[in-house]
Amino acid sequence: MTWSQQELLYIGSALLAFAAWFSLRSRSSAPSSAVPSYGPRYLPSFVGSILAAYRLGTDEENFLLDCHTRYGPITYLPWPLCQYLVTDGAAIQSIYNTPSKSLVFSPIRNDMNYTVFNIAPAIFSSRFIEERIFPAHAKGLARGQLATPLERFVTSVEGRVAALGEKVEKAGTSAEIELVDVVNEMVFEGASDALFGTELCSPSHSDLTRAQLREAFIDFDASFPLLASGLAAGLLPASLHRFWPKLDKGVKARGVLIEHFAKWARAGLPGLEEGVTKDIVEIGMNAQVGDEEMGKILLGSFWALQANAPFAAVHHLLYLTQTPLLPSILKEMDEHLSTTSEPYSFATLSSSTTLPLLTSTLYETLRLSASSFSIRLVKDREGYVFTNTPHAIPPIPYHSRIICCATRLLDVEEDEDSAEWDGERFEGEEGRRKALKEVRAFGGGISVCEGRQLAMAKLKAVSIMLLTTFSFSPILSRYNPKETRELRFKGGKKGVSPKTLLGRAGMGVRQVAMKAPYTLEKRSGSA
C-alpha cells in the first residue's frame, strides 16, 4: 500500500473510530473552564474534537506540538471526546508519580481487555485478572526471572544470523535484504521463544506454522486501534464487519490466535518448562476460567510482548547503520565480546554500566521513535491537582480522562536539537538520569511496561549480533522519495528511513510502513 493510499484509508478509519469513541468514551464531568479547548473559537466545539481526532492519526507530532505551543501544558479535547491531553514533561511526571487512589488505570485496562482481546466481562469484573494475573505477570518479569528467556531469545537470533551469513556466502560477497522484514521477523521469532518456548507452533498441537502465526498477529495488530474504539464490541454488528476489511481481518485473526493459544495451553504448554507464561496458565487453569478465556489472556500477553520490540529493533538498526558514531559503537561491541565471559547474559546486558554508548543510542532511538500515551481516570472528587511543576496548571475535574502524551518535540523550545539523533545524549551516569525523564517509551507510574528490562536486553543483543557480523549499506536508489523520511543526526549528517504507519498515535514504537532495501556483507574479521 502506498503512502497516499494509507492517508485515504486513515480518513475513513478515523471517522468511524471517532464515532465509536464518542459512543463509548464520552462520559465525563463538566470540563474545566481554566483549561483551553482545542479548535477554532468561531466554530462549534465538536468540530475541534473531530479535527483533533483526524490530526492525531495523520500528523501526530505536529498536532501535539501545536497543542503544546498554542494552548500550553494541557489541552482539552471537547465533546464528544472529552479528554485532557497533557504534553508538558513535568506535568506528565506528576501524573506518573500519583498513586492509584487518586488516578486510576484499571478501568482503562478493563475496557481494553474487553474491546481488544474479547475477554468476558465476568472475568475482569471479578477482579481475577487484576488481582491474580497481573501480579503474576509483574513477578514473572522481574529481573531475577529473565535469564532463561533471554537465553532462548539469543539462541533463536543466533540461528537466524547464521542463516543470513549463509545467504551472503551463496550470493558471493554481498546479498540484498529488506531490513524491516528481516529484523522484524528475527525479533518476533526470538521473543516468541523467549516467553512461550520453542514449540508454540509444533505440529503435534498446532494447525499454524510460525509464519502463519506471525501473519495472523500482524492482521490482529493492524486492527488494534479499531478494536480499541469498541467497533467489534457491540457497536458494529458482526454482519457489517465485511464492509471494513481491516476490522474484519483483525477480528478473524483474533479468533485464530485465541484458538491457537487455547490449544497450546490445553496441550500442557509443550516446549515451556517454567516462566511467567506457565505461571499465568496454571493460575487460570486452577481458577477454571476455561480454554477459550485462557487463550484470550495469553493473546494479551503475546501482544504486549510483540507489539513494540520488533519495530524498536528496526528503528535502532536504521539509525545505527547510518550514524557517524558507528565506528565507536563497533569498537565498544568488539571490546564487550572479547572481554566479557557471558556477553549475552541478562545479568550482563541489563547492567547499567555495560555498553554505555550502545545503551545511549537505544534510549535515543526510543526517544525519537516512540509515542506512548498513558491514560488515567481522575478518582478524587475534588479533582486532580498537579504537583512539582515549574508553572501553575489548572486542576482536572473528577471522573475526567487524562492522556499523558509522551512523545518527542514537545519541549523543543528548551532543546533546539531535540529532533536530531544524538547517540551520545544519554551516555554515562548523568545521561542515564536524563533518560529517566526524557525517554518515556515504556510509559510510567502505575502503567509502566513491566517487560521493559527484558526488551532493552533483547534490543542490545540483536544489535550486537547483527552489527558485529555484517556490514549494512542502504540501497538509496531503491527508495521512493514519496515513501521515505529523513533521519537527522547530530553534526548535520542525514540518513533515510521508510515512513511510519499512520493511525497508531500513542501505541508505543511507531511501525515502519514501507521497505528498507539494504546490501549485506560479511564484516571483516567476523566468523
Which parts are annotated binding residues for heme?
Answer: 449
Q: Quick check: helix, strand or coil at residue 516? A: coil
d(CA 403, CA 83): 7
**The cell 468511524 sits on which residue?**
16
Of all helices (H) and strands (E), which one includes residue 84? strand 83-86
C-alpha cell read off for 297: 489472556
Closest residue by Cα to residue 480 from 160, 1, 119, 14: 1
CA distance 414 to 419: 12
SS3 287: coil
- Residues 402-433, buried b or exposed e (16+ Cβ, 10 A)? bbbbbbbebeeeeeeebebbbbebbbeeebbe
Q: Which helix (H) or strand (E) holds 8?
A: helix 3-25
- Pick the closest to residue 510 from 83, 195, 61, 86 (CA basis): 61
Cell of 89: 514533561
| Angle of the 179-196 helix axis to the 276-286 helix axis, nearest 10 | 50
507, three cell numbers: 501505541
Bind-site residues: 449
Q: CA quadruple 455, 460, 466, 472: dihedral positive or negative?
A: positive
Residue 519 CA to chain centroid, in angstroms? Answer: 28
In the numeric block, which cell numbers belong to residue 140? 514473572
Q: How far apart are CA 116 and CA 223, in angstroms?
A: 9
Q: Please, what's the largest Cα pairwise distance for the chain?
A: 70
C-alpha cell at 63: 498536532
At 157, phi and psi to the nearest 5?
Answer: -65, -40
- C-alpha 249/C-alpha 8 separation (Å) is 19
Which run of H or of E encompasses 74? strand 74-77
Q: In angstroms, rounded to a whole number, what is the distance separating the alpha carbons of residues 222 and 427?
A: 35
Q: Which amino acid is at 36?
A: P
In sequence order, which ranges of 321-412 are alpha helices (DSSP H)?
A: 326-339, 346-349, 356-369
CB 418 within 8 A of CB 408: yes
| Alpha carbon of residue 34 to chain centroid | 33
